[in-house]
Amino acid sequence: MHIEHLQLKNYRNYEKLDISFDDKVNLIIGENAQGKTNLMEAIYVLALTKSHRTSKEKELIQWDKDFSRVEGRVFKQNRSFPLEIILSNKGKKAKLNRIEQQRLSDYIGAMNIVMFAPEDLTLVKGPPHTRRRFIDMELGQIQPRYIYHLGQYQKILKQRNHLLKQLQRRETKDPTMLRVLSEQLVEHASSLLERRFVFLDLLRKWAGPIHHGISRSLEKLEIQYNPTIEVSEEENKEKIETIYLQRFQEIEEKEIDRGTTLIGPHRDDLTFRVNGKDVQVYGSQGQQRTAALSVKLAEIELIHKEIGEYPILLLDDVLSELDDYRQSHLLHTIQGKVQTFVSTTSVDGINHETLRKAEQFHVDNGTVDT
């Protein structure tokens, strides 16, 4: 799989861009604040319909413009097809094969990507929402139905929290509607949890051996999923639903008192352990970065296993954050099999065959020269 061509219109500091890419490695070189990350972000948006940097889509539209458009041509499963994202004040349109998709779950997954940026190095030591977002983004690409359940869950969760605030302030006293919303929420929560369990089991199988190799066989990586209910990963959807409903009954008064939903996938987390110790708490920075790198490399292999093709890899200004050994391991792993975009201010100090053969693009104030 690779992206053959990209066109931008009114996207951040790009008024207009029309560019073709190499199917192996593309080096995006330029000083800071010139548009390297904007170019990487545009590819991310084309794949996932949203930015990894901001939730405010109006920031993606160039100043004083009414819309922004990202178009690309992707080669996947022996065929080439167009993708298009249009952002405006009226909302967002996603087109696959020039046909607008009414549901994002019908669009996401057409182009698969793995992003590795400096902030991803905080996957292990950062706040829980970064790990939940990681699961949602990667799982959504290989299981579009997950995106549907996630969207419905978030919609009902918002309604339920609003009602809990009303009950907390005594603006309403009848909890009947709360119980109805709980049942609706549980239907989607159980689907999300069941799918997350399966995903984490696959991720472990890839990340463990990769981490073992990067650490020169000195460390063992374990990844544990921490749900807000007492449930094992072997439970089916029906059993998870039953446990959720029972728990919601038990904590109803507590949730009303707090005015918010206290359990569910939106509060779950992951724990990374190296040689039995929580690496978030006890690990060195090197161990934390090795764990994050292992997970990212595992994503690549997991997606390949699930869809039969390697995803596109975006390395946004991350090589300078890795030492020589981890750099070499990363570049050696992807060599010759993954279309890769590497953004950097300079290639000085990065001495690897993969980059010596790369197509180079120089970015300067929203223009790109080869």
196, amino acid identity: R
Distance CA(347)–CA(354), nearest Å, equals 12
- What SS3 class is residue 28? strand
| Backbone angle region of 206, left / alpha / beta, with phi > 0 → left and psi within -120 to 50 → alpha | alpha
72 is in an annotated binding site: no
Is 355 within 8 Å of 344 (Cβ atoms)?
no
Distance CA(286)–CA(322), nearest Å, equals 9
33 is in an annotated binding site: yes
User: 292 is written with which tokens?
Assistant: 């994050």
Nearest Cα to Cα of residue 263 among 315, 196, 193? 193
366 is in an annotated binding site: no
Strand partners of residue 81: 74
Distance CA(244)–CA(230), nearest Å, equals 9
Residue with tokens 């192996």, as numbered in its chain: 24
34 is in an annotated binding site: yes
Is 265 within 8 Å of 153 (Cβ atoms)?
yes
283 is in an annotated binding site: no
31 is in an annotated binding site: yes
Backbone angles phi, psi at 249, to 5 degrees: -65, -40
Distance CA(92)–CA(310), nearest Å, equals 28
Strand order in the sheet with 269-274: 221-226, 269-274, 277-278
DSSP 22: -
Distance CA(244)–CA(165), nearest Å, equals 21
* Numbered residues of the known binding site: 30-37
* Numbered residues of the known binding site for ATP: 30-37
